[in-house]
Amino acid sequence: MRAPATALLLAAVVTAAQAGRPCEEKPLTRAQVEQGMALAQRTAQQLDASGAQVVVLARAGQDLSQYGLQWSHLGLAYRTELAGKPAWRVLHKLNHCGTAEAAIYRQGLGEFFLDRPHRYEAAYVVPTPALQQALLPLLREPARLLALHERRYSMVAYPWATRYQQSNQWVLESIALAADASLHGRAQAQAWLRAHGYQPSDLRISTLSRLGARVGMANVAFDDHPNAKRFAGHIETVTVDSMFAWLPRAGLGERAVLIQP
């Protein structure tokens, strides 16, 4: 399994247009590059000052305010060394240009924030020392976390099913796997999360909106959701906001810290 995992991660050097949104040929503007790199620098400074080795790092890639959400995407950022110097790398899951598939990527902070975000802010949660200690070797040698990855992607994947998997869901299930070394596979990780009080966000999406999204977007599917909830417009999914609320409640991390210009 090692060779495929390595190949998957080495494929991570992608352009911002390929990173989780419909692919755009238009290059980033100078202002977008400057803002993205400035946010990366501020983030590195704050993460260094935190003393953490691993954090759960979020960005505001899309405007989700209509659902009462602040953040759209997160990854697991960890401290390492590059060319003998300290650096932060991010392991996260990205959708392939609006298709129905996704993959796991390892990127630097600069790449992580060069994705035409809705706003140039970030936020992070510092996990408990014990959880950091468990996550760090898995992030450096991620074969076990890659085994949790399901390439079939839906932006609104149901948290308690394994047919699809969205980006934040992979991070959440990875945290469960690190917290309990006895777990194997997605179903066990999800059972652990239920037992430890994780509560997904409930997005109210009308039938018309669901039909339009299913027809027009390859990376949206609703057929893994229970019929009773789906037909009533209750679409439960894993969000950054729900994870940031749960980590302190479960005793697994501190409260989220905001990074602004």
Distance CA 29, CA 95 (A): 23
Distance CA 104, CA 93 (A): 4
**How large a percentage of the chain has pLDDT more than 90?**
73
HSE-up of residue 9 (Cα within 13 Å, Cβ side) = 19
Cβ(241)–Cβ(71) under 8 Å?
Answer: yes
Cβ(158)–Cβ(236) under 8 Å?
Answer: yes
**Burial call 137-167: b when 16+ CB within 10 Å, e when fewer:** ebbeebebbbebbbeebbbbbbbbbbebbbb
Query: pLDDT value at position 23?
Result: 62
Distance CA 126, CA 115 (A): 23
Name the domain count of the chain: 1
Query: pLDDT value at position 18?
Result: 34
Region 79-93: mean pLDDT is 94
Higher pLDDT, 204 or 151: 151
Element (H, E) at 40: helix 30-50
**What is the pLDDT of the chain when averaged over all its residues?**
87
Element (H, E) at 75: strand 73-82
Most confident range, picked from 20-24, 48-52, 94-98, 220-224: 48-52
How sure is the predictor about 236, in pLDDT bands with cuts at 50, 70 and 90?
very high
Supply 152's token pair: 């079939």
What's the pTM?
A: 0.88
Write the pLDDT tens digit of every residue in 162-173: 999 999 999 999
The tokens 């630097």 sit on which residue?
108
Query: pLDDT value at position 57?
Result: 98
Decide if pLDDT at 111 tops 60.
Answer: yes
The tokens 């003393």 sit on which residue?
51
Domain membership of residue 85 as a residue range: 2-259
Decide if pLDDT at 25 tops 70.
Answer: no
Region 242-256: mean pLDDT is 98
Distance CA 190, CA 174 (A): 10
Cβ(34)–Cβ(41) under 8 Å?
Answer: no
